[in-house]
Amino acid sequence: MKKKKIDLLTVFFYFIVLLVAFICFIPFWLIVIGSLSLESDVILRGYSLWPEHFSLDSYKMVFLIPKRIIQGYQVSGFITIVGTFIALFFSTMAAFVLMRKDFRFRNKIAMFLYFPSIFSGGMLPSYLLIVKYLGLKDNIWALILPGLISAWNIFLLRNFMSDIPDSIMESAKLDGANDFQIFIKLYLPLSKAGLATIGLFTALGYWNNWSNAMLYINRAELFPLQYLLYSMLSNVQGVKEMAAASGVAMPNLPSETYKMAMAVVTTGPIILLYPFVQRYFVKGITVGAVKG
């Protein structure tokens, strides 16, 4: 009887998980189908589970100039990979130092990191810092440096590393390991789950960011994918507004479907990446044998 109750409970939990997954999947499916529909069908009938008239017009407009789209992917890929790697490098080192109980200034430095996250300096000081003092106008590093350090990421990694038993560090010191070796060979491998979580959040932030390009970049070859598509969408909407003002009807010029196609194009790489890191979200810390 007990086994039957467990089985029923398991079935119930599986049903809940599948229901939540289905609810999360439906909006994305509607966007994909909308991007494959005619503009007039979406405007007149709204969203549907299947396109009434199949059309690739929105994707043809997205890839109207393939070279620019590929270039946008390259720029977005570069700032995402390089920015995430450097951000993790500095964040993990800062978290390791702040985690150390024998570091007397850790609380003062933690407050120094925490305070700016509450009161931001605003857009103008950031612009002056990046453009005037660092001279990064029309430089790809202007897309990386503003989002490099996050106090929230450092504190999350610090808390994650604090859960690792002190006996790990004590045992390594008895074996003659220095602080850098302990950090590289012990704490980093044991913090894979935290690194994967922070890495994904950081990568998403870099991949989806377009405001930095709007502020600091004028050269089209340095436009990330998101800002490039945003500029193209603005052009399409401008054409429709001019046509409407002139009394010219353009019902099949993609606008709404164009937005959906852009969403599919930009989220595709992230969806492909997620299965490789999702296992770390449910993986706990596994601590190996510790010398007594």
pLDDT value of residue 248: 60
Percent of the chain with pLDDT over 70: 87
pLDDT digits (tens, 9 = 90+) for 64-123: 878 888 898 999 999 999 999 999 999 999 899 888 887 888 888 888 888 777 777 777
Read off the pLDDT of residues 147-195 as tens digits, 9 standing for 90 and up.
Answer: 888 888 888 888 888 888 888 888 888 888 888 888 888 888 888 888 8
Structure confidence at residue 80 (pLDDT): 92
Under 8 Å between Cβ of 213 and 227 = yes
Residues 25-50: tens digit of each pLDDT: 898 898 899 888 887 788 778 788 88
Contact 191, 91 (CB under 8 A): no
Which CATH architecture describes the domain 57-281? Answer: Orthogonal Bundle (1.10)
Give the amino acid at 213: A
Q: Is the pLDDT of residue 243 over 60?
A: yes
Output the pTM of the full model.
Answer: 0.78
Cα 212 from Cα 127, distance rounded (Å):
9
Taking a C-beta distance cutoff of 8 angstroms, is the pair 238, 253 a contact?
Answer: no
C-alpha distance from residue 132 to each of 100, 139, 142, 157 (Å): 37, 13, 12, 33
From CA 226, how far away is CA 211, in angstroms rounded? 9
- Which pLDDT value is given to residue 284? 42
What whole-number distance in Å separates Cα of residue 202 and Cα of residue 148? Answer: 9
- The mean pLDDT of 2-15, rounded to a whole number, is 73
* Residues shown for the chain: 292
pLDDT level of residue 288 (50, 70, 90 thresholds): very low
pLDDT-derived band at 277 (thresholds 50, 70, 90) equals low
CA 239/CA 258 separation, integer angstroms: 13
Comparing 71 with 235, the larger pLDDT belongs to: 71
Q: Does the structure show a pLDDT above 60 at 290?
A: no
- What pLDDT was estimated at residue 246? 67
Q: Which two tokens stand for residue 232?
A: 């193209």
Structure tokens at 261: 């196609």
